[in-house]
Amino acid sequence: MLATIAGIGILAWLIGFFDPETCTPGVQVDGWSSCEAIANQRTLALIALVAITVVGVLITTLWKKKKR
């Protein structure tokens, strides 16, 4: 179940509402995250979602093999 939700999170990441390429530094406000920080956080989120999905699928696969 968790792997499915993480997989959907990956799809949402791919659709993405934030494009760091189009973010302009002149629009940034002090005290808010920079475009670079947001891009880094998105990358970390993708890595975490992929890891959760892979681990979830592996656990499910091993569990099914063990039941046989």
pTM metric for this prediction: 0.71
Q: What is the pLDDT of residue 12?
A: 84
58 domain-assigned: yes
Structure tokens belonging to residue 15: 């659709």
Q: Look up the domain containing 8 and give its range.
A: 2-17+33-67
Q: What is the pLDDT of residue 58?
A: 92
6 domain-assigned: yes
28 domain-assigned: no
- The span from the CA of 49 to the CA of 10, in Å, is 6
Three-state SS for the chain is CHHHHHHHHHHHHHHCCCCCCCCCHHHCCCCCCCHHHHHHHHHHHHHHHHHHHHHHHHHHHHHHHHHC
47 domain-assigned: yes
- Please give the chain's pLDDT, 68 residues, in tens: 788 888 888 888 878 766 666 777 676 777 777 777 888 888 898 899 899 999 999 998 998 888 87
- The span from the CA of 58 to the CA of 64, in Å, is 10
50 domain-assigned: yes
61 domain-assigned: yes
Q: Into how many domains does the chain fold? A: 1
